[in-house]
Amino acid sequence: MRALRVHERGGPQHLVEEEAAIPSPGIGDVLVRVHVASFTPTELEWPSTWVDRAGRDRRPSVPGHEVSGVVTALGYGTTGLAVGEAVYGLTDWYRDGAAAEYVAVEARNLARKPDRLDHRTAAALPMVALTAQQALFDHGGLARGQALAVLGAGGGVGTFAVQLARAAGARVVAVARPWANDLLRGLGAEVFVDVGRAPLPEVDLVFDLIGGEPLRRACATVRVGATVVSVVEDPPVEENRRGRFFVVEPSRPQLQELGKRVLAGELHPVVGSVWPLSEGRAAFEAKHRGAQPGKSVLLVTEES
Ligand SMILES: NC(=O)c1ccc[n+]([C@@H]2O[C@H](COP(=O)([O-])OP(=O)(O)OC[C@H]3O[C@@H](n4cnc5c(N)ncnc54)[C@H](OP(=O)(O)O)[C@@H]3O)[C@@H](O)[C@H]2O)c1
C-alpha cells in the first residue's frame, strides 16, 4: 500500500510517501480502507509517534490519527462492526496511523459513519470534537451563561470548541493571531483578542491549545475561582484557581452524538484544506508555517 511515513525524528521534512506492508488487524481490530485521514500538526513531537506501548522503537511510523473509511477485514474476536461498513474515529497514538491506504484500528474506537456525513468531514471530526467536548464539559464544567476563552482558537480544536461553547449558551472570547479574526467571529465568538497584544477579559474557563507564554499569561491573570484546561501542558495556575491537563479519550457514544449534531447543521467542522496523500509532507509543512484555518485533511482513496 502507499503510506506517508517518517523514519527520522525531527520536523515534517522527514515525511516520505512510500510503499509499506498492509497492516494485519489484531484481536478486537478492524482493517479500514482509508478514504480520508487527518492529523494533528504536533504529532511528530509526541513520544508515541516513535515507540510502542512497551517503549520499543517502532519506526518507520505512519502519522495521522483520524480516519474515515470502510471496513475490509475483522481481527480475531472483533464484534460490533462488519466488513463493508463505513466508519470514522481515532486511531491509537502508539500504532501506525491513517495516512496510508489501510489502517488497523480497535473497533471500539470507531463509530459507524452516517451516509450523509461525507468522508472529509468525518475525518476532520474525531480529534477536534472529542477534545473540545471533553475539555469544555467533562474537565471544564462549562455551563450556560458562563464565559470561555479559547487560546489558539483558529485551528482544528479551537474552531470546534468555539462552536460547541456557543451552542451550549456560553459567551466566547477567541484568542488567536489576527488572521483568524473574521473566521472566529463568523463561528460565534463574541470577542476577539489578538494573542500578542490585549489582556484577557474576565472569564470562567480558559481552554488552552498553545501552552508556553500565552498559557502562563492567562494563568497569571485569570480570576479567582476560574478553571484553566490545557491539552498542551500543565497550567501553572495560582492559588484558588483550578488547572487541568488531559489527553483526549476515544469515545464512540460522544463521537456518534457529535456526528448527529454536525448532520443536523448545528456544528460545522472547519476543513481548511484538502491534500492528496502524495502531498502529505506539504500538508504538515503548511500547518507548521501557520495561518491554516481548522483542520487539514489527506485524501487517500477517491470518495464513493
Ligand atoms: N492532549 C490532547 O489530548 C490533545 C488533543 C488534541 C490536540 N492537542 C494539542 O492541542 C494543540 C492544538 O491542536 P490543533 O489540532 O487545534 O492544532 P492547530 O490546528 O495547529 O491549531 C493550533 C492553533 O494555535 C495557534 N497557535 C499556535 N501557537 C501559537 C502562539 N504562540 N500564539 C498564537 N497562536 C498560536 C495556531 O495559529 P497559527 O496557525 O497562526 O500558528 C493555530 O491556529 C496541539 O498542540 C495539539 O498537540 C492535544
Residue 137 and residue 236 share a domain = yes
How many structural domains comprise the chain?
2
* Residue type for position 227: T
> Nearest-5° angle of CA 166, CA 234, CA 40?
60
Asked if residue 202 lies in contact with residue 147, where contact means CB atoms within 8 angstroms, the answer is yes
Residue 135 and residue 111 share a domain = no
CA 158 to ligand 1 centroid distance, Å: 8
Taking only the tens place, the pLDDT of each residue in 226-254 is 999 999 999 999 999 999 999 999 999 99
The domain that contains 19 carries what CATH number?
3.90.180.10
Residue 110 and residue 135 share a domain = no
CB distance 42 to ligand 1 below 6 Å: yes
Residue 45 and residue 28 share a domain = yes
Asked if the structure places residue 221 within a domain, the reply is yes
Asked if the structure places residue 254 within a domain, the reply is no
The C-alpha atoms of residue 44 and residue 50 are separated, in whole angstroms, by 8
The C-alpha atoms of residue 66 and residue 99 are separated, in whole angstroms, by 9
Q: Which helix (H) or strand (E) holds 254?
A: helix 252-263
The domain that contains 140 carries what CATH number?
3.40.50.720
| Ligand 1 atom nearest to CA at 231 | 1
* Residue type for position 188: G
Closest residue by CA, ligand 1 atom 41: 290
Residue 22 and residue 75 share a domain = yes
> 205-208 and 86-90: which strand pairing?
unpaired
CB distance 210 to ligand 1 below 6 Å: yes
Q: What is the b/e burial string over 239-271, where b = at least 16 CB atoms within 10 angstroms of the residue's CB? A: eebbbbeeebebbeebbeebbeebeeeebebbb
Torsion sign, CA atoms 156, 161, 162, 168: positive
Taking only the tens place, the pLDDT of each residue in 168-222 is 999 999 999 999 999 999 999 999 999 988 789 999 999 999 999 999 999 999 9
Q: What is the pLDDT of residue 201?
A: 94
Closest residue by CA, ligand 1 atom 4: 231
CA 25 to ligand 1 centroid distance, Å: 32
Taking only the tens place, the pLDDT of each residue in 55-103 is 999 999 999 999 999 999 999 999 999 999 999 999 999 999 999 999 9
Asked if the structure places residue 257 within a domain, the reply is no
CB distance 177 to ligand 1 below 6 Å: yes
CB distance 218 to ligand 1 below 6 Å: no
Residue 109 and residue 224 share a domain = no
| Ligand 1 atom nearest to CA at 157 | 16
Residue 191 and residue 135 share a domain = yes
CA 289 to ligand 1 centroid distance, Å: 12
Asked if the structure places residue 191 within a domain, the reply is yes
| Ligand 1 atom nearest to CA at 248 | 3
Asked if the structure places residue 148 within a domain, the reply is yes
The contacts of residue 257 (CB under 8 Å, 6+ apart) are none
Asked if the structure places residue 87 within a domain, the reply is yes
Asked if the structure places residue 25 within a domain, the reply is yes
Cell, residue 288 = 507548521
Residue 167 and residue 106 share a domain = no
pTM, two decimals, is 0.98
Residue 185 and residue 160 share a domain = yes
CB distance 70 to ligand 1 below 6 Å: no
Residue 113 and residue 12 share a domain = yes
Q: Which helix (H) or strand (E) holds 295?
A: strand 295-299
Cell, residue 87 = 466508519
Average confidence (pLDDT) over 264-275: 97
Residue 237 and residue 286 share a domain = no
229, 245, 261: which is the final residue of a domain? 245
Closest residue by CA, ligand 1 atom 31: 210
The C-alpha atoms of residue 5 and residue 15 are separated, in whole angstroms, by 6
Closest residue by CA, ligand 1 atom 42: 155
Asked if the structure places residue 253 within a domain, the reply is no
The contacts of residue 218 (CB under 8 Å, 6+ apart) are 149, 151, 175, 200, 206, 208, 228, 235
Residue span of the structural domain in which 222 resides: 127-245
Confidence of residue 303 (pLDDT cuts 50, 70, 90): low
* Residue type for position 148: L
Residue 77 and residue 107 share a domain = yes
